[in-house]
Amino acid sequence: MTIIKCAHKVFTLPMAWCQPTIKWLTQWFVILGMTNITAQELILPQDSIITVNLDEVILISARKTLDYHRQAKPLSTLEEYLESSKKVTMVKRGAYAWEPSLNNMFSERLSITIDGMKIFGACTDKMDPITSYVEVSNLAKAYVASGQQGAKHGSTIGGAIDLQLEKSDFRDTGLQGGVETGFESNNEMNVWGVNLDYSRSNFYIDADLSYRKAENYSAGGGEEVAFSQFEKFNVAINSGYKLNEHQSLAASIIFDDARDVGYPALPMDVSMAQGVITSIGFEQDSLFGSLFNWNSKLYFNTITHIMDDTNRPDVPIHMDMPGWSDTYGFFSEVRSHIKKHSFLFKLDGYYNKSLAEMTMYPNVPEELPMFMLTWPDVRTVNVGFYVEDEIGLKGSTLKVATRLALQNQDVADEFGLNSLRIFYPEMQKSKTRFLKSISGQWHKMWMPWHLNVGLSYGDRAPSVSEGYGFYLFNSFDNHDYIGDPELANEKSMEVNAKISWKKEKFKLSAEANFFHIPDYIIGEVDPNLSVMTIGAEGVKVYKNLEYANLFNTSLEMEYIPFSQFKWTSLLSYHRAVDQHKENLPFISPFSYRSSLTYNKGSLSGTIGMTGAGKQVHYNSKFGEDQTKAFTVFSLSLGKTFNFNNDLMYTKIGMENIFDKKYSTYSDWKNIPRMGRNFFVTVSYAIN
């Protein structure tokens, strides 16, 4: 215990802490061999030098690189990995399917893709962000791009997360396999994973299978959080075949099936959430002229989401709420270098069908069930063209990018159209929007200084819920939401800047971005409307605000006193208001994290701390209250063992060491986060 307390002291010390302390600590850490849990180290800059892109890359799989020590917590959920990003925070409605946010913006303002494929969740209550339909075992990396820098895969305001699938990719490694297992004490989660890969220079096939099952977790102090259990099964197969030296085909399928998922912060659970994600791709190393790396993909995915309230006591009325979302899409991209320009051209398109319904069973048995379409079978067609050009200038780099897209939304279901026409009698069945994005990002270097400056404009169409939602209940602010098909596109004008100072042992960077968002889409109370959901306070209709302003800033530090040690810290501050200077909901208070990592040979270890200040700016109109300050600590220790050719890696760790009971600003209805938790993972790789 004393050690941990000392460590705590270290993190709160000013940066110029004195040498003796380090040495003293070093000895202890060598013994403890801790690894990072807040996982600062997971975030690899794309290059050793900061490039013009401010993308973050989060390493998820260590399978191909055998770079196990870089993983904070193998077999943790994808959401935990994403949370280790500097810009990503998570909205939690339970232990499963956290919703990522970027720059304090959520799903509808983000472009979230899997290997460039568009996927849309099928839940009207945002229980299934698309990150919940994959497993860490499917993925190699996650690219996180802020603001319009994420426009490559689709229109966005807040940024993009692209999850890259793990592939053997014609590495001549032959047959390889691995078994992984993990256990977490707090919610008795068991995780099993098996993978088998066969890869030659002209053919590969990878298969992985994973299963996890968790019981209810306990908050700090030991209180059990009812309905926080979940169970998930995932299997994925990836294959590639080289037609010849220049051309190759690839195909992938992911089947993901979650059952009996509890959402303690919501009034309902999920009996089944199932996703099938498939694609076939074609790659050719050159096209014509100076075009090279021609990469095309056709894809299809289907999501089925079945909500369930039958396990809940005292529901005022039982209801079935299934939802379906099917997406068909393609993209084709090619690169080109002409003199100082390196271009990327990308044409993409998708067709999505979103349908969700609600059947309520009256307590009077002879009455007929009540039925409505909460998503009226909205068919979205979106075709976009993206070009980026990275221009090498004297001593600096400029990247300009633009996306132009045409989107049409059509309400295919007559019943649903008639339902919406109750609110909007003049509503048209179909609506076309033109979407555009343009951004410029400039990078200049005067060693050891780096400066990144960006300026951009972009817009987005309303989401299916915002445009066509019909009595969607939001349990956070306790209101029913109605979409508005005539909403204007939400626009964003963004400036960002990052200044870094880098020396071999010390890196310091300060970063800020500012979004001015005219026609910001948010729900506003319509006092004339009558609530549908029993117990709801009122009805909100999605509206365009005049504008909203969002500001995010962070300070990051990395210090490597000795080659085996790395100390990283991150401080961030966020602020967002509308045109009346009223706070926007779900904006992070001042937050911080810090970790010290030890890494030498087969041994690795981390001690970490993360926390946030008291939430000063919140908005009770959106169900928010003041979230208290908290600090939690974690530590882990990892070791690699060699058996002949095989490799075994084990990691043990403890999270929320002091069993602190806390919740963050983004925890739905203040649902407490997990209390003290021990975890063990064992990975065995057969080469």
Residue numbers of the site for Cu ion (CB under 5 A)? 123, 125, 127, 307
Binds 370: which of other proteins, Cu ion, none (CB < 5-8 Å by kind): other proteins
Binds 123: which of Cu ion, other proteins, none (CB < 5-8 Å by kind): Cu ion
Question: Within its chain, how far is the Cα of 371 from the centroid?
Answer: 33
Residues in the chain: 687
Q: How far is the CB of 372 from other proteins (least distance, A)?
A: 4
Question: Which residue's CB is nearer to other proteins, number 349 or number 538?
Answer: 538
Binds 363: which of other proteins, Cu ion, none (CB < 5-8 Å by kind): other proteins
Q: How far is the CB of 55 from Cu ion (least distance, A)?
A: 31
* Residues 217, 228: Cα–Cα separation, whole Å: 6
Binds 371: which of other proteins, Cu ion, none (CB < 5-8 Å by kind): other proteins
* Residues 296, 311: Cα–Cα separation, whole Å: 45
Binds 415: which of Cu ion, other proteins, none (CB < 5-8 Å by kind): other proteins
Binds 131: which of other proteins, Cu ion, none (CB < 5-8 Å by kind): none
Question: Which residue's CB is nearer to Cu ion, number 123 or number 657?
Answer: 123
Q: How far is the CB of 531 from other proteins (least distance, A)?
A: 6
Question: Which residue's CB is nearer to Cu ion, number 123 or number 541?
Answer: 123
Phi, psi of 468 (to 5 degrees): -130, 5
Binds 425: which of other proteins, Cu ion, none (CB < 5-8 Å by kind): other proteins
What lies within 8 Å, CB to CB, of 601 at 6+ separation is none
Q: How far is the CB of 473 from other proteins (least distance, A)?
A: 12
Mapped onto helix, strand or coil, the DSSP state of residue 213 is: strand
Question: Which residue's CB is nearer to other proteins, number 31 or number 534?
Answer: 534
CA distances from residue 20 to 13, 26, 143, 563 in whole angstroms, order as listed: 14, 10, 39, 17
Q: How far is the CB of 539 from other proteins (least distance, A)?
A: 9
Using an 8 Å Cβ cutoff, are 309 and 343 in contact?
no
Q: How far is the CB of 534 from other proteins (least distance, A)?
A: 4
Q: Which two tokens stand for residue 436?
A: 């555009």
* Residues 495, 579: Cα–Cα separation, whole Å: 18
Q: How far is the CB of 83 from Cu ion (least distance, A)?
A: 21
Binds 307: which of Cu ion, other proteins, none (CB < 5-8 Å by kind): Cu ion
Q: How far is the CB of 108 from Cu ion (least distance, A)?
A: 16
Report the half-sphere exposure of 542 (CA within 13 A, side-chain side). Answer: 29
* Residues 229, 216: Cα–Cα separation, whole Å: 5
User: Tokens 């935990």 identify what position?
Assistant: 80
| Cis? peptide before 313, omega within 30° of 0 | no
Binds 423: which of Cu ion, other proteins, none (CB < 5-8 Å by kind): other proteins
Q: How far is the CB of 469 from other proteins (least distance, A)?
A: 13
* Residues 342, 347: Cα–Cα separation, whole Å: 17
Question: Which residue's CB is nearer to Cu ion, number 68 or number 471?
Answer: 471
Q: How far is the CB of 269 from Cu ion (least distance, A)?
A: 9
* Residues 176, 198: Cα–Cα separation, whole Å: 6
Question: Which residue's CB is nearer to Cu ion, number 309 or number 333?
Answer: 309
Q: Would you list the DSSP string of 435-447?
A: EEEEEEEEEEEET
Q: Helices 2-12 and 19-32, interaxial angle, to 10°?
A: 140
* Residues 667, 659: Cα–Cα separation, whole Å: 17
Question: Which residue's CB is nearer to other proteins, number 66 or number 372?
Answer: 372
Question: Which residue's CB is nearer to Cu ion, number 242 or number 259?
Answer: 259
Residue nearest to Cu ion (CB): 123
Question: Which residue's CB is nearer to Cu ion, number 95 or number 123?
Answer: 123
Question: Which residue's CB is nearer to other proteins, number 371 or number 641?
Answer: 371
* Residues 121, 100: Cα–Cα separation, whole Å: 13
CA distances from residue 54 to 102, 144, 150, 153, 595 in whole angstroms, order as listed: 13, 9, 10, 16, 22
Q: How far is the CB of 321 from other proteins (least distance, A)?
A: 13
Residues paired with 176 in a beta bridge: 197
Question: Which residue's CB is nearer to other proteins, number 389 or number 413?
Answer: 413
Question: Which residue's CB is nearer to Cu ion, number 32 or number 307?
Answer: 307
Using an 8 Å Cβ cutoff, are 183 and 207 in contact?
no
Using an 8 Å Cβ cutoff, are 372 and 470 in contact?
yes
- The CB density around residue 392, as the number of other CB atoms within 10 Å, is 13
* Residues 656, 634: Cα–Cα separation, whole Å: 6
Question: Which residue's CB is nearer to other proteins, number 171 or number 421?
Answer: 421
What lies within 8 Å, CB to CB, of 313 at 6+ separation is none
Question: Which residue's CB is nearer to other proteins, number 299 or number 470?
Answer: 470
Binds 533: which of Cu ion, other proteins, none (CB < 5-8 Å by kind): other proteins
Using an 8 Å Cβ cutoff, are 34 and 635 in contact?
yes
Binds 125: which of other proteins, Cu ion, none (CB < 5-8 Å by kind): Cu ion
Binds 471: which of other proteins, Cu ion, none (CB < 5-8 Å by kind): other proteins
Residues in the site for other proteins, rule: CB under 8 A?
A: 316-317, 358, 360, 362-364, 367-372, 415, 418-419, 421-423, 425, 470-471, 528-535
Binds 434: which of other proteins, Cu ion, none (CB < 5-8 Å by kind): none
Report the half-sphere exposure of 320 (CA within 13 A, side-chain side). Answer: 8
Q: Of 442, 128, 345, 90, which Cα lies nearest the Cα of 256?
A: 128
Binds 400: which of other proteins, Cu ion, none (CB < 5-8 Å by kind): none
Q: Of 680, 683, 682, 673, which Cα lies nearest the Cα of 79?
A: 673
The kind and range of the H/E element at 10 are helix 2-12
Q: How far is the CB of 416 from other proteins (least distance, A)?
A: 9
